[in-house]
Structure 1
Amino acid sequence: MTLLSPAISESTRVLDVPTHDPDHVRGAMGRFPTGVVALCAIVDGRRVGMVASSFSAGASYSPPMVMFSVQESSTTWPVLHRAERIGVSVLGSHQSDACMQLASRSRDRFEGLATTVTAEGAVLVDGAAMWFDCDVYSCVPAGDHSVVVMRVHSMNIDDEVAPLIYHERRFHGLREIDGGRA
């Protein structure tokens, strides 16, 4: 029996050496479209929240886990990390304003924002495409970020809401292609 090997292309792709310029790296990484999540909880009797575009659902299916990365310079994460439970809301395509508000460093992140609080203190943004009630499973340093893995205790989806997409430093919604969702 003879095994045939796939044809090998003669073309070669030359890759650039990574730069240490954060703006250049951020711009390059921003070419990959991602969803946007709000991470919120009650800490010391008040709502605390932040947004992340580095979220990954399905880090594990059994037990269910999700993950995201957070900058080491974040002043919100050390407070939010103390919460018993953290609500993760996959923001809907209509929630770009809510995303900007939750990311703000100069205004009340929750003023006028409709939320639901679970019995365990996870804060969920109303109108999102999906919600997770989580606790922190592990937090591992990774360069100028930490990778946070969270265990999912409960979740829900709204099939009528498409997720908000972040791509090339702008927000987008999904659009249909060839009769199906993109």
Structure 2
Amino acid sequence: MTASLSAPEAVDVTSEEFRRVLGHYPTGVTVVTARDPDGGPVGMTIGSFTSISLEPALVGFFVARTSSTFPAIRDFGSFCVNVVADGQHELCTRFAGPAAARFQWLDWSEAPSGSPVIEDAVAWIDCATERVDDAGDHLLVVGRVTALHAEPRRRPLLFFRGGLGAFAPLPGTDRGGAR
């Protein structure tokens, strides 16, 4: 015997309820970096990074229209997505905090584009900005991947229901970065 499910009634979707429900879906934590007009490093925490296409290799992220950091990233014309490792949780708040302190005492090198690659990141993906599209109160930034690297022994930091945590694969499912 199968149970009959009735559709729930439609309700007004408030931003608070939307955030609460979508908070049940874990997201990876990334820091998107570039250079400002003076050549200095800039970056911001992003939790909405995604793969878009294999051919051509495209990735994307969403940024609030109100971001004071994104104009420098947009104007640089390229960016690097740094996938934050589970032991780097302080980077999440650092790159969401005051811009002047974001790179202070932080070890980093340069991606081929010149964008900062944060030391000990799980992976980095260097991109040329392909386009920026309107998406409600955010912008969708699409990048064409030009270079990338991963450290398969590191684990990513995850954001889930308002908190940060680590990922542990189920027994027998860890392919160790293999294809």
Deviations 1:91-117 (A, max 9, x none): 111111012111113751111111111
Amino acid at match of 1:71: A
Greater mean alpha carbon deviation, residues 88-97 or residues 114-123: 114-123
Task: Select which of 152, 159, 180 maps to 2:152.
Answer: 159
Structure 2: runs of 5 or more not aligned: none
- Secondary structure of the residue aligned to 1:180 is coil
Cα displacement (A) at 1:28: 2.2
Deviations 1:26-80 (A, max 9, x none): 22222110101110012221111001101112x0001111111111111111121
Contact 1:101–1:107 (CA under 8 A) maintained in structure 2: no
Q: Does 1:11 align with 2:24?
A: no
Name the CA distance, whole Å, in 1 between partners of 2:163 and 2:7: 28
Deviations 1:95-144 (A, max 9, x none): 11012111113751111111111342211111111111101111111110
Match of 2:42 in 1: 48
Name the CA distance, whole Å, in 1 between partners of 2:12 and 2:135: 16
Match of 2:80 in 1: 87
- Secondary structure of the residue aligned to 1:111 is coil
CA separation of 1:176 and 1:139: change in aligned 2, threshold 3 A: same
**What TM-score do the two structures reach when normalised by structure 2?**
0.88
Moved over 3 A (4+): 179-182
Match of 2:124 in 1: 131
Name the CA distance, whole Å, in 2 between partners of 1:114 and 1:158: 17
Name the CA distance, whole Å, in 1 between partners of 2:112 and 2:150: 19
Aligned residues: 174
Match of 2:62 in 1: 69
CA separation of 1:15 and 1:46: change in aligned 2, threshold 3 A: farther
Match of 1:23 in 2: 16
Identity of aligned residues (%): 26
Contact 1:174–1:181 (CA under 8 A) maintained in structure 2: no
Amino acid at match of 1:136: T
Contact 2:27–2:48 (CA under 8 A) maintained in structure 1: yes
Structure 1: runs of 5 or more not aligned: 1-6
Amino acid at match of 1:97: E
Q: Does 1:103 align with 2:96?
A: yes
- Secondary structure of the residue aligned to 2:75 is coil
CA RMSD of aligned residues (A): 2.1
- Secondary structure of the residue aligned to 2:21 is helix
